[in-house]
Amino acid sequence: MIAQDIKETGFIVIVTQTENKWKNIRKAYMTVKDHNSRSGNAPKTCKFYDELNEIFSKSSSITPVALASSKRKTAVSTTVGNDYSSDDEIFEEVEADRHSGKTEKKSKKGKKSKLNRELEAWSKTLCEDAEKRELAREKRHEAMIAVQNRKIAAFTAVMNKLLEKL
């Protein structure tokens, strides 16, 4: 029915496109509504939130009459934009006071914590070990080259003797 009304306006759509669009709009509304119902969250909104709220608020699937679960609901991701690929334009986050709930880490100059000192010592030890391994690898490589050069010299000497006999 909606697809037919849209076709009458001149746009070419099929029923499945309309259904998918409606499902994505409903998911977006539900995500925003669930996010806003949790305490401590900054409020979010989406385009046409008030109209969608008016439509869906009467539906028992959105606002159930009673809940029969004794388990707590697990937290759902609050990133709204990535889940709705074609409907990204629907969402607009409300700019809430972003600085009220967040703490910023300030670097302290001067004293280093015990953990930082231990990490620096560990890092230094790792670097020294890596240098030792690299030197040992270079020595092995040089020894292999020396052995190969001796083999080449011996092979050349044998080949020269054979050529002299011919």
Q: Is the pLDDT of residue 151 over 90?
A: yes
Name the residue with tokens 């499902």. 23
Residue 80 pLDDT greater than 60, yes or no: no
Amino acid 71: pLDDT: 67
Q: Could you tell me the pLDDT band of residue 64, with boundaries at 50, 70 and 90?
A: low
> pTM for the complete prediction?
0.37
pLDDT band at 18 (very low <50, low <70, confident <90, very high): confident
Q: Give the residues across from 46 on adjacent strands.
A: 91
CA neighbours closer than 13 Å in the CB half-sphere of residue 160: 6
3-state secondary structure of 20: helix
Which tokens go with 77?
Answer: 């991701």
Distance of CA 25 to the CA centre of its chain: 24
Which H or E run includes 46?
strand 45-46
Task: State the Cα–Cα distance between residues 6 and 15, nearest whole angstrom.
Answer: 10
pLDDT tops 70 at residue 14 = yes
Closest to 35 in 3D by CA, of 81, 69, 66, 67: 81
